[in-house]
């Protein structure tokens, strides 16, 4: 850093320098106060914890179990689970509730469900099953399940039902 030699300054320059320095110190003080002393990471962590708690509460409710799980494939890692609008497009519904705020299905959507006393018509799915349902209209798990059922019915009929 270049040293500033105040003794070479004219009185006006010195005045401006002192004023500037005072302001500079004032702002660095404020900066420290806001970004240095206050530990924002603590607040951020608290917000994350709160969102987690709310999510768990909602998932527990719609799973009707202390350990939430995907109603389609039984996935029970909370990180993979989400709330699915049983009939129809969840995104559209969320958009309908509150324009853009709910489209991501994030924290505001979970809070909304709690505030509205857990409206009916929702279930817990994992993101895989939820995505498949949204994009293809069905989940391969269900399809596989149906195929197994169909096959076992056929087998049963072939074995026990005589014409």
Residue ranges that bind Zn ion, judged by CB under 5 A: 70, 72-73, 75, 126, 129, 139, 141
Write down the least CB distance from residue 120 to Zn ion, Å. Answer: 21
For Zn ion, which is the closer residue by CB, 32 or 149? 149
Nearest residue to 69 (alpha-carbon basis) of 20, 158, 60, 7: 60
Nearest residue to 158 (alpha-carbon basis) of 41, 56, 150: 150
For Zn ion, which is the closer residue by CB, 113 or 139? 139
Write down the least CB distance from residue 58 to Zn ion, Å. Answer: 17
Write down the least CB distance from residue 143 to Zn ion, Å. Answer: 9
For Zn ion, which is the closer residue by CB, 113 or 129? 129
Which residue carries 């709160």 as its tokens?
A: 50
Name the token pair of 119: 């409206």
Write down the least CB distance from residue 125 to Zn ion, Å. Answer: 6
Task: Give me the phi and psi of 39, to 5 degrees please.
Answer: -90, 95
For Zn ion, which is the closer residue by CB, 83 or 129? 129
For Zn ion, which is the closer residue by CB, 70 or 113? 70
Identify the H or E element spanning 84.
strand 81-85
Name the token pair of 21: 């320095």
CA 110 to chain centre: 9
Alpha-carbon span 20 to 23, nearest angstrom: 5
Write down the least CB distance from residue 147 to Zn ion, Å. Answer: 14
DSSP β-bridge partners for residue 124: 83
């Amino acid at each position: 850093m270049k040293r500033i030699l105040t003794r070479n300054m004219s009185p006006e320059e010195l005045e401006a320098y002192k004023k500037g320095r005072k302001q500079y110190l004032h702002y660095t003080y404020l900066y420290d106060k806001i970004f240095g002393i206050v530990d924002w990471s603590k607040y951020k962590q608290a917000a994350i914890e709160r969102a987690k708690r709310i999510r768990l509460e909602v998932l527990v409710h719609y799973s009707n179990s202390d350990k939430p799980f995907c109603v389609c494939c039984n996935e029970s890692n909370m990180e993979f689970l989400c709330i699915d609008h049983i009939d129809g497009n969840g995104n559209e519904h969320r958009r309908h509730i509150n324009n853009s705020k709910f489209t991501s299905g994030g924290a505001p959507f979970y809070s909304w469900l709690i505030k509205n006393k857990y409206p009916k018509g929702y279930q817990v799915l994992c993101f895989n099953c939820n995505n498949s349902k949204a994009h293809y209209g069905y989940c391969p798990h269900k399809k596989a399940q149906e195929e197994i059922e169909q096959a076992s019915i056929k087998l049963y009929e072939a074995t026990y039902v005589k014409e």
